[in-house]
């Protein structure tokens, strides 16, 4: 029964993750975000198309998805269920069944999820992401760096091995979704974030 309820919670987490924040915000501003820029329905592409403020709004909405799903698991069954729900929300964001499995990169949703279970580490990495994004102007570079650092920081904080493994698994998914960005970075074609918070 316990495992059945965890599966139900994770399923709920998946569908929470499918909420199309970027598409809805962009549509409200008159554009189809999947047809603009990189075509990715995520905060960075919205920021490039509509300005940093709109991008930050999408980031917040996507982070809330991860936080809500993870918080449900944590409140009902504890840390293990929280990580299952976190992973499910990220998968829902990245591969939403409601959009033929064409979703975003998962960074914002994962960061919201980790904020619930490792708040201090998450806040530190979020600050680092902001600094790196401001200096490099490349959201993908910042995102990949904090993705690599997350399991390292969690391990250094003394978290159990399964938590480290869970964050590595989520990180692998994020990196896979960033393969097109890596190719564009190598060829010098990766778009930059806007300089002003418009």
Integer CA distances (angstroms), 155 to 66, 81, 97, in order: 21, 19, 33
Query: Does the pLDDT value for residue 25 go beyond 70?
Result: yes
The model carries a pTM of: 0.93
Tell me whether residue 197 is in a domain.
no
Query: Does the pLDDT value for residue 197 go beyond 80?
Result: no
Task: Output the pLDDT for position 4.
Answer: 85
Residue whose pair of structure tokens reads 């189809």 in the numeric block: 32
Handedness of CA 100, 39, 179, 121 (dihedral sign): negative
Tell me whether residue 177 is in a domain.
yes
Averaged pLDDT of the chain: 93
Q: How many structural domains does the chain have?
A: 1
Tell me whether residue 192 is in a domain.
no
How far is 148 from 143, CA to CA, in rounded Å? 9
- The tokens for 85 are 């729900």
Among residues 57, 51, 43, which one has the least CA distance to residue 196?
A: 51
Tell me whether residue 196 is in a domain.
no
Q: DSSP character for 160?
A: -
Burial letters 127-163, b for 16+ CB under 10 A, else e: eebeebbeeeebbbbbbbebbebbbebbbeeebeeeb
Residue whose pair of structure tokens reads 């300005």 in the numeric block: 51
Ramachandran angles phi, psi of 42, nearest 5°: -140, 175
Tell me whether residue 91 is in a domain.
yes
Tell me whether residue 62 is in a domain.
yes
Task: Output the pLDDT for position 1.
Answer: 47
Tell me whether residue 52 is in a domain.
yes
Tell me whether residue 118 is in a domain.
yes
How far is 91 from 96, CA to CA, in rounded Å? 7
Q: pLDDT tens digit string along 94-127?
A: 999 999 999 999 999 999 999 999 999 999 999 9
Query: Does the pLDDT value for residue 33 go beyond 80?
Result: yes
Domain carrying residue 116: 2-187
Task: Output the pLDDT for position 6.
Answer: 86
Q: Please give the distance of CA 154 from its chain centroid, rounded to a whole number.
A: 17
Q: DSSP character for 37?
A: T
**Residue 189's pLDDT band (boundaries 50, 70, 90)?**
confident
Q: By the 8 A CB rule, do 85 and 10 touch?
A: yes
Q: By the 8 A CB rule, do 194 and 48 touch?
A: yes
Q: pLDDT tens digit string along 144-161?
A: 999 999 999 999 999 999
User: How many other CB atoms sit within 10 Å of the CB of residue 14?
Assistant: 21
**Residue 168's pLDDT band (boundaries 50, 70, 90)?**
very high
């Amino acid at each position: 029964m316990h495992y059945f309820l965890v599966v139900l919670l994770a399923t709920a987490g998946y569908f929470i993750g499918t909420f199309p924040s970027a598409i809805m915000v962009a549509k409200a501003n008159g554009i189809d975000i999947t047809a603009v820029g990189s075509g990715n329905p995520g905060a960075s592409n919205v920021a490039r198309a509509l300005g940093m403020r709109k991008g930050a709004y999408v980031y917040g909405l996507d982070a809330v998805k991860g936080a809500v799903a993870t918080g449900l698991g944590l409140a009902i069954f504890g840390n293990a269920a929280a990580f299952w729900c976190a992973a499910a929300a990220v998968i829902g964001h990245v591969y939403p069944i409601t959009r033929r499995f064409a979703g975003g990169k998962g960074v914002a949703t994962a960061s919201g999820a980790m904020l619930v279970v490792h708040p201090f580490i998450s806040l530190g990495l979020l600050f680092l992401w902001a600094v790196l994004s401001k200096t490099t102007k490349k959201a993908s570079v910042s995102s990949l760096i904090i993705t690599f650092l997350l399991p390292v920081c969690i391990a250094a904080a003394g978290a159990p091995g399964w938590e480290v493994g869970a964050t590595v698994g989520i990180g692998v998914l994020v990196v896979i979704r960033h393969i097109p960005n890596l190719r564009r970075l190598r060829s010098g074609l990766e778009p930059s974030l806007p300089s002003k918070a418009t």
